[in-house]
Amino acid sequence: MLVLSSPSGAGKSTISRALLEKHPDLTMSVSATTRPMRPGEVEGKDYYFIDNAKFEDMVADGDFLEHAQVFDNYYGTPRPPVVKALEQGKDVLFDVDWQGTQQLRQNARDDLVSIFILPPSVEELERRLYTRGQDPEDVVKKRMAKATSEMSHWAEYDYIIINEAIEHSVRETEAILSAERLKLMRRVGMSEWLRGMGVGQ
């Protein structure tokens, strides 16, 4: 379970897309949200769009690996698709905030690798938010106000990437993914493989 977190506009979605294009054995966790669908988004691919009542029912039933309120909306990761992907031997990529990461760590510490992506400067973060043109002025100002609070949680993550150039940040994320896959605790079946070579543990 590979978590990418960042303030809005720091680049985690762009990095996520690049990883998914290059690594077919990596699948994206799709979150449920109560926020309205944006132009171009697809139900079940970008998010599962549900209302507040449905979200509250899923929380009560323990159907989320993590869930949180972000601004005026709720977000959560449905458990069944993630469990199914892991059982199929796939790595699962998460685009969640620090609150979601804390909950995932509580639920799956050994399976979790977390990366926090920082912008090169506050000024650059603001420029990116205005450039992408998805949000009105008041929303951008709210996101900027929240960014400092979000970035204060950097020390809770396993890795930090400062996203100055997207290509370099993607390569750094791939290096983390490769190294974590090679860790002994994730080499499933290694003992049996070595016994087949006549090597005892």
For residue 87 the two structure tokens come to: 């059982």
pLDDT for 11? 84
Residue 200 has pLDDT above 80, yes or no: no
For residue 20 the two structure tokens come to: 């998914």
CATH topology (fold) of 2-182: Rossmann fold (3.40.50)
pLDDT for 139? 81
Residue 201 has pLDDT above 60, yes or no: no
Q: Other CB atoms closer than 10 Å to residue 58's CB: what's the count?
A: 19
**Beta bridge pairs of residue 91:** 26
What is the pTM (predicted TM-score) of this model?
Answer: 0.81
**pLDDT tens digits, residue range 151-177?**
999 999 999 999 999 999 999 999 999
**pLDDT tens digits, residue range 52-92?**
999 999 999 999 999 988 778 999 999 988 989 988 889 99
For residue 103, which amino acid is it?
A: Q
Q: 3-state DSSP call for residue 12?
A: helix
Lowest mean pLDDT among 65-69, 88-92, 107-111, 118-122: 107-111
DSSP 4: E
